[in-house]
Amino acid sequence: MQLFKRANNLAGAGIFLIAALTYWLTMEPTVSFWDCGEFLAASYKMEVGHQPGAPLYLMIGKLFSLLSFGNTAKVAYWINFLSVFASAATVMLLFWTINAIGLKITGKAAESPSRTETASIIFAGAVGALAFAFSDTFWFSAVEAEVYALSMLFTALVFWAILKWENSSNDRWLIFIAFLIGLSIGVHLLSLLAIPAVTLVWYFKKAERPQFWGVARALLLALLLLGLVQVGIVQYLVLLAARTDIFFVNTLNLGFGTGAVVFLLAVVASLAAALYHSVKRKKYALNLGLLCLTFILFGYSSYFMILIRAQAQPNVNLSNPEHPLALHEYLGRTQYEEKPLIYGQYFDAAVTGSKITGKLYRKGDERYEVAGETFKTEYDRNGVFPRVYSSRPDHIQFYRSWLGLSENQQPQVADNLKFFSSYQLGFMYWRYFLWNFSGRQNDEQGQGSAIEGNWITGIKPVDALRLGSQNNLPPSLAENEGRNTYFALPFLLGIAGAIYVFRRNRQQALVIGTLFICTGVAIIVYLNQDPLQVRERDYAYVGSFYAFCMFIGIGSFAVRNLFAKLMPAKLSPVLSGLACLTSVPLLMVCQGWNDHNRTGKTTALDWAKNYLNSCAPNAILITNADNDTFPLWYAQEVEGIRTDVRVVNRQFLSDPSYISQMRRWSNRSAPLPMALPHKKIVAGVRDYFPYVDYGLKDSVELSDLLAVMSSDHTEDQVQMNDGSFMNFLPTRRFSLQVDPEQVVQTGTFHDRSQVTTKMEWEFNGKFAGKADLAMIDLLVHNNWKRPVYFSTSVSNDTYLGLDKYLYLEGYAFRLLPLKAGETDQKQKEERTNDTPMYKNLTSRFSLAGFKTASYLDPESRRVASGAWNLYNTLAANLLRDGKKAQASTVLRTALKGLPLRNRSIADTLGKLLLVENLRKADQHAEATKITDETAAFLEKELDWIARKEPEGQQRFVSDIQRGMYVLNGLARVCTLHGDRTRAENIEKIFGRLEAVFQRNLG
Asked if the structure places residue 451 within a domain, the reply is no
Question: If pLDDT is split at 50, 70 and 90, which confidence band does 880 have?
Answer: very high
Q: Taking residues 668-692, report their average pLDDT.
A: 92
Res. 449 pLDDT band, cuts 50 70 90 = very low
Q: pLDDT tens-digit profile of 698-720?
A: 899 999 999 999 999 988 888 87
How many domains would you assign to the chain? 3
Give the pLDDT mean for 842-869: 93
What is the per-residue pLDDT for 821? Answer: 57
Q: List the Cα angle 941/945/949 in 5-degree steps.
A: 170
Side chain identity at residue 863, one-letter code: V
Q: Which residue has the higher pLDDT, 107 or 876?
A: 876
Q: For 154-175, what is the mean pLDDT?
A: 94
**Does 276 lie in the same domain as 154?**
yes
| Residue-level pLDDT at 464 | 84
Mean pLDDT over 959-986 rounds to: 93
- Using CA atoms, how far apart are residues 198 and 196, in angstroms rounded to an integer? 5
In degrees and rounded to multiples of 5, residue 731 shows phi and psi of -160, 160
Co-location of 201 and 111 in the same domain? yes
Instruction: For residue 161, report the phi and psi dihedrals to the nearest 5 degrees.
Output: -65, -35
* Alpha helices for 27-70 (secondary structure H): 36-45, 55-65
How much is the pTM? 0.94
Q: State residue 414 phi and psi, 5-degree precision.
A: -60, -35
pLDDT interval class at 178 (50, 70, 90): very high
Indicate the residue among 815, 840, 865 that finishes a domain. 840
In a domain, 669, yes or no: yes
Which range has the worst mean pLDDT, 238-252, 655-669, 789-803?
789-803
Stretch (H or E) spanning 375? strand 368-379
Q: What is the average pLDDT value for the chain, to the nearest integer?
A: 92
Residue-level pLDDT at 339:
87
pLDDT 10s digits, 507-525: 999 999 999 999 999 999 9
Q: What percent of the chain has pLDDT over 70?
A: 98
Q: How does pLDDT run across 272-289, given as a tens digit for each residue?
A: 999 999 999 999 999 999
Q: What is the pLDDT of residues 209-254, one digit of tens each?
A: 888 899 999 999 999 999 999 989 998 999 999 999 999 999 999 9
For residues 338 and 357, what is the distance between their CA atoms, to the nearest angstrom?
14
Would you state the pLDDT for residue 450? 46
- Left if phi > 0, otherwise alpha if psi is -120 to 50, otherwise beta: which for 372? left
pLDDT tens per residue across span 95-119 = 999 999 999 988 776 678 888 889 9
**670 and 803 part of one domain:** yes
Structural domain boundaries enclosing 351 = 337-403
Residue 512 CB neighbours (<10 A):
27
In a domain, 902, yes or no: no
Query: 357: which DSSP letter?
Result: E
Write down the pLDDT at residue 448: 43
Question: CB–CB of 435/491 below 8 Å?
Answer: no
Flag whether 416 is in a domain. no
pLDDT tops 50 at residue 823? no
Same domain, yes or no, for 122 and 233? yes
In this structure, the number of other CB atoms found within 10 A of the CB of residue 410 comes to 12
3-state secondary structure of 623: strand
Q: Is residue 152 a contact partner of residue 87, using CB atoms and an 8 Å limit?
A: yes
Q: How confident is the model at residue 365 (pLDDT cuts 50, 70, 90)?
A: confident
Residues 759 and 701 in one domain: yes
Strand 812-815 versus strand 806-808 pairing type: antiparallel
Q: Is 93 left (phi over 0), alpha (psi -120 to 50) or beta?
A: alpha
Residue 972, in any domain of the structure? no
* pLDDT above 80 for 941: yes
Instruction: Reduce the secondary structure of 116-150 to three states and give it as a string.
Output: HHHHHHHHHHHHHHHHHHCCHHHHHHCCCCCHHHH
Please name the residue ranges forming H helices in 301-344: 304-311, 324-331
Tell me whether residue 112 is in a domain: yes
Residue that finishes a domain, picked among 812, 840, 868: 840
Q: Is the pLDDT of residue 312 over 90?
A: yes
CB 186 within 8 A of CB 306: no
**442 is a domain residue:** no
Instruction: Compute the distance between CA of residue 10 and CA of residue 963 in angstroms, rounded to an integer.
Output: 57
Answer whether 575's CB lies under 8 Å from 567's CB: yes
Most confident of 150-164, 222-236, 332-346, 675-689: 150-164
Instruction: List all residues 6 or more positions away from 217 whose beta carbon is below 8 Å from its beta carbon.
Output: none
pLDDT (tens digit, 9 = 90+) per residue, 48-74? 999 999 999 999 999 999 999 999 999
820 shares its domain with 780: yes
Position 947 in a domain:
no
Q: How confident is the model at residue 335 (pLDDT cuts 50, 70, 90)?
A: low
Same domain assignment for residues 579 and 650: no
Give me the helix-helix angle, 884-897 and 858-880, nearest 10°. 170
SS3 383: strand
Residues 555, 672 within the same domain: no
Distance CA 477, CA 857 (A): 15
Residue 497 sits in the same domain as residue 395: no
Average pLDDT over residues 37-48: 96
Same domain for 57 and 173 = yes
CA dihedral 911, 912, 914, 917 (to 10 degrees): 170
Looking at the predicted structure, is the pLDDT value of residue 482 above 90? yes
Say how far apart CA 193 and CA 181 lie, in whole Å: 10
Spatial neighbors of 173 by CB under 8 A, at least 6 apart, are 161, 162, 164, 165
How far apart are the C-alpha atoms of 673 and 646, rounded to whole Å?
A: 11
Long-range CB pairs of 693-696, under 8 A, 24+ apart, other chains included = 693/731, 694/730, 694/731, 696/730, 696/731, 696/733
54 and 159 fall within a common domain = yes
Q: Of the residues 596, 617, 647, which one is the last residue of a structural domain? A: 596
Tell me: do 395 and 299 sit in the same domain. Answer: no
Q: Does the pLDDT at position 336 exceed 80? A: no
Contact 347, 409 (CB under 8 A): no
Distance, first Cα to last Cα, the chain: 74
Cβ-in-10-Å burial (0-12, 13-18, 19+) of 610 comes to buried
Alpha helices in 623-769 (DSSP H): 630-637, 656-662, 702-709, 740-745
